[in-house]
Structure 1
Amino acid sequence: MSADPEVAVVIPVFRQPALLAEALEDVLAQQNAPRFAAVVVDDGCPLPETAATALAYARRHPGRVLLQRRPNGGLPAARNTGIDFALQAWPGCRALLMLDADNRLRPHFLARAAATLDAAPPEIGWVYPDLDSFGLPQNYFLGGDYSAFLHLHENLCDAGSLIARRVFDRGLRFDPRLREGFEDWDFWLRAAEAGFRGRHLPEAGFLYRKRPESMLTHAERARPAILGGMRLNARHTLSARRLQRLEAEELPRFALTRLGRDEAQRLTDPLAPRHPPEPAEALRRRAVEAALAPSAAAFPPFWAFATEAGLAALTRARLLHNVVWQAQQILQATPALGFVLVDLVAAAQGRRGLRLPPGAVPHAPRAQLIIARSDRLLRAAREKDFDWAAPFTDAAKPPAPTLKVDLPFADAALDEDPGVFARLAEEVAALRATAAARSALLGEWRDDWRASRLRTPGLHLALNGCGAVLPWIPRQPGRQIGFVLPVFAFGGVEKVVLNQAAVLRRRGWTPHLFLTGTDHAAIPAEADGVFETVQFFPLPAIERADPRQRFFGAPIAAEPTAARNADMLGLLAVMDVVVNTHALAGQGLMGQLRRQGVRTYLGLHLNERGPHGAPVGNPLTALAYEAGYDGFLSVSRALRDWCVGQGVPPEKILVLPNAASYAADPARAAAACAARQLRAPETPLRVLFLGRLDHQKGPDRLRPIILGVADTTIEWRVVGHPVLDADPPDLSGTGVAIEPAAEGTAALDALYAWADVVLLPSRFEGAPLTIPEAQRFGCILVATDTGAVAEAVQHGVDGLLVPADEDSVVAHCIDRLRALAGDPALCRRLAAGAAARGAATDWENSMAGWIRRLEPEHAA
């Protein structure tokens, strides 16, 4: 031949010499095809007729039929031999067809397949036919838009496809280890991972010989084992983060109809759509096609109807993504519900949250959003007598649930009659009209074995173990960090997390807050922009310990149901980094997240003590789950040393000392520090107790301490609030009244500016935020030497420590306060030391080591 073949037909053969002749005859009979040649690969066949048949055809058709012989290596290896030969021998070859020796072609296959491939854009890597079988006659339709996401779950393409040379030029070959079958499926998945896509060729003319005993039959029998191995090898490509991006491009999860617009949009992330809006009628036509041919025509499995005001309010409250995730999770778990109503209300005291009141009667007219299962609306389009609205009635069993959303603000626009239910009813009527105008005949005679494309969200479970996946498509992949806590009531732990998140946000990370044990969060208004989203675990969110077993006396998480575990995993799996701080329900998820490529860290704040002084709490529990974490984040060296003593590898632990929890007024802090150096000797010493009035903080020690220094010139203030229903401490006879907890940073500044001394008579501590906050104002800390206090207060340099012995704490506190009251020079020296230490403490320096691990590309 004067020119290279443009198409190479690779025909592996083993023990099928007679069938090989049929395949070669079909290749040679191709009409109007580009220049082609057949490469027969004898895979070490012991039958002499195989080589003889191939040689006979090669002699009769020189340059059109060629023979390659190799030791037996299996079907994928034989294909690779033919591929490598064709690519090296014919630089002008632009496509290759894999034709097994027992299959056949109709005369126009190559011409039509090559023309389709030539006309396709470069990302189309192969053209695949329907599956028409002979022997056991079967005909299966494989039409519809190709989906790499669906291809991960089921094989949509036969090996008998025409493949562009550019696919092989990327180094892709069939995996020779997959001799038992599914080697073609594996090849297509790796081609898709490389960025290539398939294109369906209708009426292609490819004929598959189907016999009751064959390699495919064996592969189907061994399907779990083969598929399990394939997915294990490809696990890095199956993470929820990667698959959700693919899902968003190909098969968006939600249809969104906004009131007041004659258009709709298909999307996965409601704030990051990948597809432009389209006319409402165009979306209806998609819905009707999906109703008639759900395996070939795609439609989002959930359909949301919403007001602009409702969407804006949820976005402002950082709750939009969690609301649609909760609705998806509810509708996947209980399909009969059909709908979820979303009711938005302004919450008391500015808190935000989600509630799912059990047994609530649906009141559709109040809803700002209604999220529906699309299959219910598509059924309404097909069946005009179907009572699609039954879940909204008072007598419905089960009724459509109502998700109550507490907003941290009032919004007058939400008080209007939203009209969402009326718009939903209009859409159902319009769907029925569109369906009535379309013939119910499909125009396709073949069967379709594929499952409905409406099931796509459930495919994550088989591919990566996730249930409902949070619909979050980040604009900054690689920098999404989730902080997991049981509650967010703005205590000390929450303040630490908030400041760490703020530092990372300034460095270009996107922090998210996940709450496992509550349905509301108290985020101060000034910190509203720190977390990009606020996420609640599946409602009702309750932290549960396993009542049957403990790990060396420490509680471990109760085993969730498989479905709940999958949903919790799906909520977190879209993060790049997850930090679990004291969330028991999060512990068992960390190892699963690591297997998805998520980096996991544990935040440790203190070793609590039980009634008899024994360590209890989160650090002990963490030891049970240590293997699930990439690192531990300890607030102190003391807690780090304890963890090392318990067997945690030292290199796994990072120390992140606490800094002040809020930004003080610098002028006020400077003025307070200056005033301490000028305090007149006769001025009374001002002592402040500030904190929770619970047993840990030692408020019961205040009365004997105050009475013990009653003969000195000391002024006292006790500021705080009891925990839960606990009684306040007894301060009778002291003349000191308990003041309510300070609210706002200005009030805290005023307290620290007033105080010369801050007293911490605690029984146990982690690394109290009060210390660096007070030191900025030059306050002298008098504190029990417990936890990490000695790491933040140097005795005699910037404060005074008190031995933590229960029997002597009060006496030592009295001695320390008397010494300060009688020695103004000592006060000035310690105040200056405290101010210097406070000025040198900040969160950026504290987190530097962790940031280097998070951002190795920026490490020096």
Structure 2
Amino acid sequence: MRDVAEPAAPRVAIVIPVFRHSGLVIEALESALAQEAPFPILVALVNDGCPYPETEEVGLAYARAYPHRVIYLRKPNGGLASARNHGIRTVLDRYPSVDAIYFLDADNRLRPQAMARAMATLDADPDADWIYPSIDMFGLPSAWDYSGPYSLLQHSTINICEAGSLVRRKVFEDGVFFDQSFRLGWEDWDFFLSAARSGFRGKYLEDFGFRYRKRPESMLMEADREAAQLQGDMAQKHKLLFAPRELVRLEADEAPRYAIYMPDRAELLHCVDPDDDSTRVVDVETHIRQVWQAQVLPGANSAPPFTVVMHSAVLACLRSAGLLHWALWKLEGQLESAHVVGLHISQGTPGRVEIADISGVENKSRIRQAAVAAISPKLLTEVLRDPVSDWIDTVLSANPKPRIDQSELFLPASVADTDRLHRDATSSLLQLIHSLRASPYRVALGQDWQWRSNGATLRNLEYMIPRKRFSGQPVYPRVTRDTSRNMGFLLPMAEFAGVERVAYNIAKAMRARGWSTHAMLLDTGSIKILPDWQDAFDSLGFLSDPDFRLGGAGPQNFLGSPISDWAVSGSHDKVISMLHWLDCVINFHGGAVAGTMGQLRRLGVRTVNSLHVHDLTRFGRPTGNTHVGLAYEHAFDLFAPCSEAMASWLRGMGVPRQKIVTVPNAPGFDLPDSIQAADALTRRRDRSADKPLRALFIGRLDRQKGVDRLDALIRASKSRRLPVDWRVIGSSVMGDSRSLPGGNLAISPEAPLSDPADLAAAYDWADVVVMLSRYEGLPLTVLEAMRSGAVVISTDVGAISEVVQDGKTGILFPDSEDITPALDALELLSGDRDRLRAMSASGFEDMLSRTWQTATQAFSDALEQPTPPVPTDPLKDDRNDDT
């Protein structure tokens, strides 16, 4: 050894920790000293309390022989991370000229040009914060290729960056060091993930010049044996990185999942979320080149794995209907078992959106008329490599050979003009496939382009990384950024009875407050669309999971109420994969879905349980969603009862006061601009007292609403010859066949109403609105009637007495099968119109300030409070001094 004097201002430092490698460290030192670089290099040898005297001898000898190039450091044994940190801090403190630090383990080597090439790459790219190599092993020889763009998404699952990387000084100055608690291994993987969490990124260098010694027994092998514990430690420390929302963001930025081909524009969208800024627009030739690069060198290049075809007008139609993301998720799920899938879009029933699966051999050929078509990633690869195209060409035949799966989406004319949509997506898909097969890049398949084995094994499979959190289920393609405010409304059905109308109105109010609102249908493939639907919801999705069961008896029973077996032991992954991206979900009597709230909450989703009414058994015992909510109280951040009565019940049942935010019901629809409530009140005053009293029932025709009592009341009023004109508006949504043994009301009911103008006209017609319910929450009908000036005659159930003052704004009487009190009330008001007018005016006055904006104020304020404690990503502090 001989001293070669160098300036005392090194630009690169090579840190070599040594523990029990005293016989091999000389090779590492010599390869470091042999670096051929146009800048000075410092070597810091760190003796991590090695028990072998030879390590001390070697360290001292090199430090004496190369006093300007080698420093020798001793410390008590603290592990590899501790030794590296000691070397880093010494270099940072003593050598301000050092721009980057390289880590060389004592049993590895460098080729002479390694530091020069790595530093030149770092200098050439200001966005690169560390330079990492492929792994070329000797001893047990192997070579692993980690080329291609750096991917934090892949790095979250595979350690693609060896510790033998050149790292900029600023990474350490930002506080990123090796975590000394990782004594079993993976400290280098953790280091680079921590650096990435701080915003730093790596860059790959081909032929870096790094040589990795591999032996059958080593620290690496020990780490593999402790993989389970290390995975737990990594998951605990890097929760935010491993969260599905972050993984999907990375997927969108680094490896788009979909290639959406629009043949009318001859361009493709490469994206996860078509509405996110990460979406790239590429031409067909660029896409073809990327596909073949990914086919030829899949470890180094990527292309979107899912090819979806639709005309731009179809895409615009789905986007306008709020169904674009759901459609992509639906198609991706179907491709789990099918080769080619199609989505048909047809004219549906006015005022309804419906989805239906298409089955049967006789319908296979319908794939030719699909508005959207997609092919599975695996099949696309096989077709591109197939010498002939006969097999895939049959997709347009009467008997296609690929496995076909199809769905049909029915949209009303108010949402889309489906007659103008193109229905040739499958033929356009086939044309794109033939363009890919005809590409001159295809010949590259016949040659070997990489002598190393693929180390980045998840390249082109990045979409599988977020799926791991959901047992392989496709992940809803929504990208959320830091400013997102997405609220999901979980609805078992959407016929817009009371609970759904509450959801609808809360959605409108929260949307006006800046939230994006999303209706998620759990147990139906059909939804009723109200006229101002798009004022309430930004998007719509259908769970469409045949395994999901809203209710039903299960193995557990809570306070006498059965808990669905799906809630307890069902597969929740599809539900959670659909909802993970939301900032808040509100469960509107979704039954078994309460069983997923704890898992969503652990993902950082705010969970809210909206409660409205106790169901009653035949014996009058409370049961249903209120009790299911109590069973899962721990999993909900907030309870949003519709009334003070429900809030009091929750407090009495042990729900903490801080978790209860009352959202008192308000009228279920806005009055059309053409209708002024005050004018309606004036018209009521002018009605002749000689005319019959107008009595209205509006609601479901089932036992809960007392339809049998209503029938008896109508018949009794006729028998008593009361001057009453009756109207009954509604139908049996719940299908309770026991409500009327004879099956017929005393008068024929009119069809249910949903249009605000029609509803307003019905209430305006009525002098009184009659309700004979056996149980209620705080029914919207009462509030809507009072706003219109109609007087409510009702059983005193639920929270009705919170808004109806008996004798002042309406007439209440105890819940009973005896209809005499209701009959007497009709007789009283039909004969005393002055009293009717006084009650009408008082009720109208009480409703003037009752709006959904005021009703949701406290709820909105609660959501603005800091998120309740959930697993976080604690920033580590490894700045403890080495001893």
Instruction: Give TM class, smaller chain.
Output: over 0.9
Residue 582 of structure 1: which of 585, 589, 592 is its match?
589
CA RMSD in angstroms comes to 2.6
Aligned to 1:786: 797
Residue 648 in 1 paired to residue 655 in 2?
yes
Aligned to 1:672: 680
> Does the 8 Å contact 1:353/1:406 carry over to 2?
yes
* Counterpart code for 1:651: Q
Q: 1: distance between equivalents of 2:251 and 2:421? A: 36
Q: 2: distance between equivalents of 1:295 and 1:751? A: 67
* Counterpart code for 2:574: D
Pair 1:379–1:213, CA change in 2 (3 A) = same
Aligned to 2:634: 627
Aligned to 1:118: 123
Aligned to 1:741: 752
* Counterpart code for 2:677: A
Pair 1:754–1:414, CA change in 2 (3 A) = closer
> Does the 8 Å contact 1:99/1:160 carry over to 2?
yes
Correspondence list, 1:729-808, <5 A? 736-804=747-815, 806-808=816-818
Correspondence list, 1:402-417, <5 A? 402-409=406-413, 414=419
> Does the 8 Å contact 1:687/1:756 carry over to 2?
yes
Residue 48 of structure 1: which of 53, 56, 60 is its match?
53
Pair 1:347–1:561, CA change in 2 (3 A) = farther
> Does the 8 Å contact 2:701/2:732 carry over to 1?
yes
Residue 549 in 1 paired to residue 566 in 2?
no
Residue 841 in 1 paired to residue 842 in 2?
no
Aligned to 1:687: 695
Aligned to 1:303: 307
Q: Which moved more, 1:52-61 or 1:418-427?
A: 418-427
Residue 821 in 1 paired to residue 824 in 2?
no
Q: What is the CA-CA distance between 1:787 and the residue it aligns to?
A: 0.9
Q: Which moved more, 1:214-223 or 1:738-747?
A: 738-747
Residue 716 of structure 1: which of 726, 744, 762 is its match?
726
Q: 2: distance between equivalents of 1:446 and 1:177? A: 33
Residue 86 of structure 1: which of 83, 91, 95 is its match?
91
Residue 36 of structure 1: which of 38, 41, 47 is its match?
41
- SS of 2:695's partner is strand
Q: What is the CA-CA distance between 1:307 and the residue it aligns to?
A: 1.4
Residue 702 in 1 paired to residue 716 in 2?
no
Aligned to 1:535: 541
Q: 2: distance between equivalents of 1:304 and 1:511? A: 26
* Counterpart code for 1:642: W
Q: What is the CA-CA distance between 1:572 and the residue it aligns to?
A: 0.5
> Does the 8 Å contact 1:538/1:567 carry over to 2?
no
Pair 1:405–1:569, CA change in 2 (3 A) = same
Residue 262 in 1 paired to residue 266 in 2?
yes
Residue 293 in 1 paired to residue 294 in 2?
no
**1:338-393 CA-partner distances (Å, limit 9, x unpaired):** 21111111112331122222334242320111111233223222232363356666
Q: What is the CA-CA distance between 1:394 and the residue it aligns to?
A: 5.6
- SS of 2:770's partner is strand
- SS of 1:218's partner is helix
> Does the 8 Å contact 2:518/2:540 carry over to 1?
yes
Q: 2: distance between equivalents of 1:362 and 1:425? A: 15
Q: Which moved more, 1:246-255 or 1:534-543?
A: 534-543
Q: 2: distance between equivalents of 1:689 and 1:479? A: 40
Aligned to 1:510: 516
Q: What is the CA-CA distance between 1:582 and the residue it aligns to?
A: 1.7
- SS of 1:481's partner is strand
Q: 1: distance between equivalents of 2:730 and 2:469? A: 51
> Does the 8 Å contact 1:365/1:421 carry over to 2?
yes
- SS of 1:409's partner is coil
* Counterpart code for 2:373: I
TM-score by length of 1: 0.94
Q: What is the CA-CA distance between 1:613 and the residue it aligns to?
A: 0.7
Residue 228 of structure 1: which of 225, 232, 238 is its match?
232
Q: 1: distance between equivalents of 2:787 and 2:488? A: 30
Aligned to 2:3: none
**1:50-74 CA-partner distances (Å, limit 9, x unpaired):** 1221121111111311122222111
Runs of at least 5 residues in structure 1 that lack an aligned partner in the other structure: none
Pair 1:580–1:238, CA change in 2 (3 A) = same
TM-score by length of 2: 0.92
Runs of at least 5 residues in structure 2 that lack an aligned partner in the other structure: 1-5, 868-883
Q: 1: distance between equivalents of 2:123 and 2:643? A: 65
Q: What is the CA-CA distance between 1:732 and the residue it aligns to?
A: 12
Aligned to 1:356: 357
Aligned to 1:661: 668
Q: 2: distance between equivalents of 1:605 and 1:499? A: 14
Aligned to 2:860: 851
Q: What is the CA-CA distance between 1:684 and the residue it aligns to?
A: 4.0
Aligned to 2:276: 272
Q: 2: distance between equivalents of 1:302 and 1:493? A: 38
Q: Which moved more, 1:507-516 or 1:348-357?
A: 348-357
Pair 1:481–1:218, CA change in 2 (3 A) = same
* Counterpart code for 1:24: L
Pair 1:419–1:672, CA change in 2 (3 A) = closer
**Aligned-pair identity (%):** 36
Q: What is the CA-CA distance between 1:401 and the residue it aligns to?
A: 0.4
> Does the 8 Å contact 1:516/1:541 carry over to 2?
no
Q: 2: distance between equivalents of 1:450 and 1:189? A: 16
Pair 1:132–1:746, CA change in 2 (3 A) = same
Aligned to 1:189: 193
**1:577-598 CA-partner distances (Å, limit 9, x unpaired):** 1111122342222111111111
> Does the 8 Å contact 2:258/2:304 carry over to 1?
yes
Q: 2: distance between equivalents of 1:376 and 1:802? A: 68
> Does the 8 Å contact 1:341/1:362 carry over to 2?
no
Q: What is the CA-CA distance between 1:459 and the residue it aligns to?
A: 1.3
> Does the 8 Å contact 1:340/1:370 carry over to 2?
yes
> Does the 8 Å contact 1:41/1:70 carry over to 2?
yes
Aligned to 1:379: 382
Residue 150 in 1 paired to residue 154 in 2?
yes
Q: Which moved more, 1:87-96 or 1:700-709?
A: 700-709
Pair 1:824–1:423, CA change in 2 (3 A) = closer
Q: Which moved more, 1:353-362 or 1:341-350?
A: 353-362
Residue 821 of structure 2: which of 786, 805, 812 is its match?
812
Q: 1: distance between equivalents of 2:175 and 2:352? A: 56
Q: What is the CA-CA distance between 1:421 and the residue it aligns to?
A: 2.5
Q: What is the CA-CA distance between 1:476 and the residue it aligns to?
A: 7.2
Q: 1: distance between equivalents of 2:526 and 2:741? A: 33
Q: 1: distance between equivalents of 2:535 and 2:665? A: 21
Aligned to 2:880: none
**1:599-654 CA-partner distances (Å, limit 9, x unpaired):** 11111110011111111211112222222211111111222222233332232122
Q: Which moved more, 1:171-180 or 1:26-35?
A: 26-35
> Does the 8 Å contact 2:374/2:429 carry over to 1?
no
Q: 1: distance between equivalents of 2:530 and 2:187? A: 56
- SS of 1:695's partner is coil
Residue 209 in 1 paired to residue 225 in 2?
no
Pair 1:470–1:732, CA change in 2 (3 A) = closer
Q: What is the CA-CA distance between 1:711 and the residue it aligns to?
A: 4.4
Higher relative contact order (CA 8 A, sep 6+): 2
> Does the 8 Å contact 2:340/2:402 carry over to 1?
no
Q: 1: distance between equivalents of 2:568 and 2:743? A: 52
**1:388-436 CA-partner distances (Å, limit 9, x unpaired):** 3566666567721012111122866645763322222222222122243
- SS of 2:287's partner is helix
**1:780-829 CA-partner distances (Å, limit 9, x unpaired):** 2121111111112122332221111x244x12222333333344443233
